[in-house]
Structure 1
């Protein structure tokens, strides 16, 4: 990005802005252990990234191998047991020895096998290979959406229409607050018309 801000930097700026509006602290909405579980990134690295500090990057193959080992050690069957290596191997179409080499001998998965492992463990696409910054940004975005949904609706009729249809970004609503009443009425009518023509509805 031309101004040097990364997607994660922008997400963190939005997070802090929303927390300020809601009167919350980061530790009230961010669980470091949960973020580690959902990203495969070590908590010290997550802390550094949340503080806008850099962390060392890894070769993508090594990253994928470590993330697989993390999944193997942290995910459980319905009965609470580790997945058997034989079962994993059978499900993704490789040998048990291949799984063992991945866990213990430094073997690295190729893209096709990485995708199969992600589907097996039911994690987001790219979980095994995403850089730490990208993985954290991915998991912060649903938290942002949850915070946005908790904001009070302000700004009159247009903001109410926008909120009703899921447009709740706090910066947008602040802009709406500054519009003259005539523009609010006009834009509200336009939004309703466009949604109806698109097959949507403006009913609650």
Structure 2
């Protein structure tokens, strides 16, 4: 059975199309917005798998227990106790910071035992990743990250456009909904808004006004 995360995840190709549209509006290459290394780090999905998914390929998914183990090993390697000294968390550190006993931490990270749902939840909290991150498919994990990147980029695009038009602060102050909701709605409406403004011969920037 698929999790709620996976049944609600948008199609990767559609997300990449959306991101290309946002990149064009921001005047940036897509590669500066969709960065495989960043996606890999955020999702704990191996870089090669992320790159394959972004190319439209369909890499084979590992069984759930193996996937959880791979993600935990990735997190243990990349979420460091001391990034400067590149020191990993000891099993004792993880046990003290989570609800998982020290012996079980060792067994899980070495692959000797499977992490149950309670252990997964506790370890997700310890390593600072979202609920369900350890078990979701690679495709779902990457898609959810792309969705977040798209929403953030759309917000930037809307803010830039509204500032050029001179009413961003007014719009955000008067809104009763969240900034992200406003940005998503306005971004979708930007082409129509610009077309109507062009018909009205409204200057593109406030400084051109009398």
1:91 aligns with 2:97: yes
TM-score (norm 2): 0.70
Distance 1:51 1:91, change over 3 A: same
Give, in whole Å, the separation in 1 of the partners of 2:127 and 2:42.
12
Long gaps (5+) in structure 2: 1-8, 198-210
Q: Using the alignment, how far apart are the partners of 2:130 and 2:148 within structure 1?
A: 13
**Do residues 131 (structure 1) and 140 (structure 2) align?**
no
2:107 matched to 1:105?
A: no
* Secondary structure class of the residue paired with 2:162: coil
- Whether the 8 Å contact between 1:11 and 1:137 is mirrored in structure 2 is yes
**How many Å separate the matches in 2 of 1:24 and 1:173?**
18
Q: Which of 145, 150, 169 is 2:151 aligned to?
A: 145
- Cα 1:91–1:159 shift into 2, 3 Å: closer
Do the aligned partners of residues 95 and 147 (structure 1) sit closer, same or farther apart at CA in structure 2, a change above 3 Å counting?
closer
Distance, in Å, in 2 between the alignment partners of 1:50 and 1:125 is 23
Deviations 1:106-149 (A, max 9, x none): 42211111000011111111221121122112222332233223
Please report how far the alpha carbon of residue 64 of structure 1 lies from its aligned counterpart in structure 2 after TM superposition.
Answer: 0.8
Aligned to 2:13: 9
Residue 175 (str. 1) matches residue 179 (str. 2):
no
Rate the CA distance shift 1:175–1:85 in 2: closer, same or farther, 3 A: same
Equivalent residue number for residue 46 of structure 1: 50
Cross-structure match for 2:128: 122
Measured after TM superposition, the shift of residue 92 of structure 1 is 2.7
- Partner residue in 1 for 2:71: 67
Does the CA contact (< 8 Å) of 1:159 and 1:176 recur in 2?
A: no
Gaps of 5+ in 1: 181-204
1:63 aligned counterpart, secondary structure: helix
Instruction: Verify the 8 A CA contact 2:10 2:143 in the aligned structure 1.
Output: no
Give the Å deviation of 1:22. 2.2
Distance 2:48 2:127 in 1: 24
TM-score norm. by structure 1 comes to 0.72
CA distance in 2, matches of 1:104, 1:123: 20
CA distance in 2, matches of 1:127, 1:162: 35
- 8 Å CA contact retained: 1:159, 1:173: no
